[in-house]
Amino acid sequence: MWLYEWFHDEEALEAHRSAPLFGRLMAELPELVADGPGIMRLDPLRLRMSSALTSNLF
């Protein structure tokens, strides 16, 4: 299973990781998948995105 998330900046990422629901997900996920959860961080050097993805609509 892959979960894909996009954050505007480091502050948004840290806020997400410190949220109670994220902690609950990390605690309960190992029971639901064959291997423990992991986080793969991708920092693209250059990425083109549609304006809908980069707007503040989400």
* Consecutive 10-residue averages of pLDDT for the chain (58 residues): 80 92 88 78 63 57
Q: Quick check: is 56 in a domain?
A: no
- pLDDT value, residue 29: 84
Q: Quick check: is 54 in a domain?
A: no
Question: Which residue reads 């959860």 in tokens?
Answer: 37
Q: Is the pTM of this model over 0.85?
A: no
Q: Quick check: is 26 in a domain?
A: yes
Q: Quick check: is 24 in a domain?
A: yes
Q: Quick check: is 49 in a domain?
A: no
- pLDDT value, residue 14: 92
Total domains in the chain come to 1
- pLDDT value, residue 49: 58
- What does the block give as tokens for 17? 């990781």
- What does the block give as tokens for 21? 């629901």
- pLDDT value, residue 5: 83
- pLDDT value, residue 45: 58
Q: Quick check: is 22 in a domain?
A: yes
Q: Quick check: is 25 in a domain?
A: yes
Q: Quick check: is 55 in a domain?
A: no
Q: Are 14 and 25 in contact (CB under 8 A)?
A: no
Domain that includes residue 1, residue range: 1-43
